[in-house]
Amino acid sequence: MKINSVFISNFRSLSDFSLYLPQKLLIKGRTGSGKTSVLEACSILSSGKSFKTNDIKDCISKNSQNFYIRSDFNDFEGYSRTVSVGYDRSGNKKILIDGTVSSRKSLLNMVYPVIHSPDDMLIISGSPKFRRDFIDRICFIEDKAYFDDMSEYLRFVKNKNTALKNGNTEVVKYLNSAAVPLINRIRKKRNASCETVNKFIGSLSERLFSKMKIFFSCSIDENCAEKLEMKLEKELEKGFSLYGPHLDVINITTEIGNAKNNISMGETYIGSFLIKLAELSIHAGKNEYPVFLADDIFVFVDDEMKKRLFNEIEALKNQVLMTSSIENINNFNNMKIFYLSR
């Protein structure tokens, strides 16, 4: 996949902005100049979602009623495509692929990015939700049917919560029974994806940062039918679901213990970057090369680690779009630099 150009209108601080995007691009500029907004717009164009906010209305410029972004790109098959996304303050969103109204699922079946920003340190240091979200992405890479599994499971949770609020015990029991195969399938896929990620992270850490060995783990050995039955009384009392994949704990450990408590901020950043490089490696194993969007690159690492990571990035077959406010990054042998001043 390669984004050839992007046009951005009324998107955060960018009013009418266009940019040609080479294979490797570093966008530099001061804080507030709009560097991250360019990557965010590219993320929305290639995934339908922002990596900065859950409320996409936040992206609309202050004095505007809507934003519009458009891109010409080559998809994974090498075909030239056009995608545009518009969104207004009423919550209306329109995705067009080659001029035809499409869905986010259609977009994800054709293009998708891999994104790294300092917020991804939360995969290591944050709540289990961040690790679930990451492993779910890996599950989708490994098996596109996982999108449908998770959609079905979220419908189950929604219907179950409605029945719990209404105190309808029989409906809850029926839903629980019907969901057992789905829950087992999701957990089996998550466990397999943890093992896949661990394999690639192990290889990367040996090459880049040998003392950073991190391991994902997801338990699948409990009897979920039994657990659902045990939780039923408490769930009826609370009025919402207390058990299932949407609440599963996925852990990250290092050789010296739990990653949340035993590594520095710099090591947390390196670890999160290794995780995203592992994601790119999993794609590469399937002969897929999504665009890599890296925001505020190298912010927490020393000069030696900057060189190692930069060499790794230069070697990627993927298109790479990065931002940085750090001035002392040198040796941009194969990377164009764009200075954004606003």
Quickly list DSSP for 277-316. HHHHHHHHHTT----EEE-STTTT--HHHHHHHHHHHHH-
Please give the CATH superfamily to which domain 120-287 belongs.
RecF/RecN/SMC, N-terminal domain (1.20.1050.90)
Name the pLDDT band for 78 (thresholds 50, 70, 90).
confident
3-state secondary structure of 166: coil
Whole-number Å distance between alpha carbons of 244 and 24: 42
Tokens 């609020």 correspond to 165
- Tens-digit pLDDT profile for residues 147-191: 899 999 999 999 999 999 999 999 999 999 999 999 999 999 999
Q: Tell me the one-letter amino acid at 111.
A: V
Mean pLDDT score, 201-227:
78
Mean pLDDT of the chain: 88
Nearest to residue 306, comparing CAs of 294, 314, 298? 298
- Tens-digit pLDDT profile for residues 81-114: 999 999 999 989 999 999 999 988 788 777 789 9
Whole-number Å distance between alpha carbons of 14 and 64: 11
Whole-number Å distance between alpha carbons of 117 and 305: 17
45 in Cβ contact with 96 (< 8 Å): no
The CB-side HSE value for 139 (13 A sphere, CA atoms) comes to 22
Rg (CA), the chain: 21
| Number of residues assigned to the chain | 342
Mean pLDDT score, 237-254:
90
CATH for 1-113+290-342 (3.30.930.10, 3.40.50.1370, 3.40.50.300, 2.60.40.420): 3.40.50.300
With a CB cutoff of 8 Å and minimum separation 6, the contacts of 335 are 24, 25, 26, 314, 320
Q: What is the pLDDT of residue 260?
A: 58
Mean pLDDT score, 253-275:
75
DSSP classification of residue 246: G
70 sits in which H/E element: strand 66-74
Q: What is the pLDDT of residue 251?
A: 84
26 sits in which H/E element: strand 24-28
In the chain, where are the structural domains located? 1-113+290-342, 120-287
Nearest to residue 293, comparing CAs of 141, 119, 80? 119
Does residue 132 have a pLDDT over 90? yes
Whole-number Å distance between alpha carbons of 291 and 319: 5
Give alpha helix (H) positions in the chain.
35-47, 104-108, 122-125, 128-142, 146-165, 169-208, 224-238, 259-262, 265-285, 303-315
- Tens-digit pLDDT profile for residues 295-315: 988 788 888 888 888 888 988
Q: What is the pLDDT of residue 50?
A: 92
